[in-house]
Structure 1
Amino acid sequence: MSSQSIDQQTMHIVLVHGAWADGSGWAKVIAPLVAEGFAVTAAPLPMTSYADDVKALEQALDRVAGPVLLAGHAYAGAVIAGVRNENVKALVYVSALVPDEGETVADVFYRTGLDPRAPQLAPDENGLIYYPHEAFAAAYAQNATNEELVVLAAVQRPISPACITAPIGRPLWKDRPSWFLIAEDDRMIAAANQRFMAERMQAMQRPFAVDHTPMVTAPETVLQVIREAAATVAAA
């Protein structure tokens, strides 16, 4: 049996959205993977606290049988590293934030200066952080079409400061092979910061000239990295 047939028959791809997003952001990745024979789940996060998000992802993984390739975008890079499910065989980071043990998401997000086109973010009167609608075109997804920008703004989900201020435990990437799609044109997480995180976690680095949301604006790049990771795990 070839590694490709093993991928299609047994590998379950679990995709995890970041802040100001939901699972619909993975639509252009989900459809091709399913067409290729992969089982795919887009796991939802409540984004009420880091612990809540890890618990929600663990619960989603409990519903999945067989080997799992876990992919996370942006903030979800921290979340996918917090699970302890033995079925997870590899991790894929997409323009992600990847704290080390004892660090917070905010620590790595603010490690380098922010792009001047990125918005200033602060909690609202309910203690939640929303992304300004006009900033989706300026910094979040500058390569998106107008229609895509409308959808991104409409479906955004807020994030609580409790998600980004909690120190994390031993990250799973220390015990699993990892791939890191580095978004060279990212205006939210500097490419240099992504490279720093990828290097210290010894991830396979895959740089592309894409914005912060390549699963929307350049899905083939994300698919390329996921396929490579799945094939490598299957061949191991």
Structure 2
Amino acid sequence: MKTTINTALAATAATLAILAISPASAKDAIPQNQLVKNVVLVHGAFADGTGWRAVCDRLTQQGYRVTIVQNPLTSLEDDVAATKRALAQQDGPTILVGHSWDGTVITEAGVDPKVVGLLYVSALSPDAGETTAKQYEGFAPATEFVLNTGEDGFAYVARDKFKAGFAHDVSDADATFMANSQVPINLAAFGTKLKNAAWRTKPSWAVIGKEDKAFDQAMLLRMARRINARVTRVSASHALFMTQPEVVADTIDTAAKAASK
């Protein structure tokens, strides 16, 4: 069955009150004046960790220790658990980065005391007590971002729409490979409410693709403003984590240096 992401999420959306939280500040657990040299990268739906390769290479050349999470995309709890396992490997303060769906994941997992900064790459950022699906309410449907959803609730981006909706700024060959190798997500995850919102206590940055077809631009900007993110906008598709590695890596470097002061 074909549907836009707004329609597919309607069945799982739940309107919940925004809850305030106050997890322990990262500065309570991380020594002051310690350089931030750890970065954890978390991929979004319909992709896997290999898409971060160019970002990883740039950061590694700059001396950062990079860990890439391979999310199962089976539930919010499972993706958060995978991210927490990666954070447990870090030996000091860490910048946590999420693309798309995994903005939700880093929002939940980012309360870890090792996390001293968050970067949202065209990513979702619900509040505690909200669902991911709620973020779409009131915004225009992403008509070029079309999903095929199976009876089991797992969704893929429609192959014939993949390049237009997900990655119009890659070659035809690369878009075909990405479409053929995409990892489906359990859409029920979009109906799970968050317990924590790390952006309430951690500094946040956002890189937004101005040609992103997966989200309404107004939606991305509204989320970035709400979390008080330092925003960089770049001409790119939803796949900007692959197509704009220099911008993403430079923003991570900026965040790390700011958190090191």
The answer to whether the superposition gives a TM-score over 0.5 is: yes
> How many matched pairs?
227
Question: What aligned pairs does 1:36-115 form with structure 2 within 5 A after superposition?
Answer: 36-83=62-109, 84-115=111-142
Measured after TM superposition, the shift of residue 125 of structure 1 is: 2.9
Structure 2 vs 1, CA of residues 110 and 152 (structure 1 numbering), >3 Å: closer, same or farther? farther
Identify the structure with bigger relative contact order (alpha carbons < 8 Å, sequence gap 6+).
2
Q: Which one of 156, 167, 172 corresponds to residue 182 of structure 2?
A: 156
1:181 aligned onto 2:236: no
Aligned partners of 1:141, 1:113: CA distance in 2, in Å? 20
Q: Which one of 138, 141, 144 corresponds to residue 117 of structure 1?
A: 144
The 8 Å contact of residues 26 and 215 in structure 1, kept in 2 or not, is answered as yes
* Aligned equivalent of 2:5: none
Aligned partners of 2:137, 2:157: CA distance in 1, in Å? 17
Aligned partners of 1:177, 1:88: CA distance in 2, in Å? 10
Cα deviations by residue, 1:137-159 (Å, 9 ceiling, x for unpaired) = 11101111123213312321110
Which one-letter code corresponds to 2:171 in the other structure?
T
Q: Which has the higher mean CA deviation after the structures are superposed, 143-152 or 61-70?
A: 143-152
Ranges of 4+ aligned residues in structure 1 off by more than 6 Å: none
* Aligned equivalent of 1:137: 163
Aligned partners of 2:180, 2:58: CA distance in 1, in Å? 24
Q: Which one of 229, 245, 249 corresponds to residue 203 of structure 1?
A: 229
Structure 2 vs 1, CA of residues 21 and 179 (structure 1 numbering), >3 Å: closer, same or farther? same
Ranges in structure 1 where 5+ consecutive residues have no aligned partner: 1-5
Which one-letter code corresponds to 2:166 in the other structure?
Y
The 8 Å contact of residues 40 and 68 in structure 2, kept in 1 or not, is answered as yes
Aligned partners of 1:100, 1:192: CA distance in 2, in Å? 18
The 8 Å contact of residues 214 and 221 in structure 1, kept in 2 or not, is answered as no
Measured after TM superposition, the shift of residue 22 of structure 1 is: 0.4
Q: Which one of 24, 36, 39 corresponds to residue 50 of structure 2?
A: 24
The 8 Å contact of residues 145 and 162 in structure 2, kept in 1 or not, is answered as no
1:128 aligned onto 2:188: no
Structure 2 vs 1, CA of residues 156 and 167 (structure 1 numbering), >3 Å: closer, same or farther? same
TM-score, scaled relative to structure 2: 0.83
Give the secondary-structure state (helix, strand or coil) at the position aligned to 1:64.
coil
Aligned partners of 2:145, 2:79: CA distance in 1, in Å? 25
The 8 Å contact of residues 97 and 109 in structure 1, kept in 2 or not, is answered as no
* Aligned equivalent of 1:3: none
Percentage of identical aligned residues: 34
1:227 aligned onto 2:253: yes
Measured after TM superposition, the shift of residue 110 of structure 1 is: 4.6
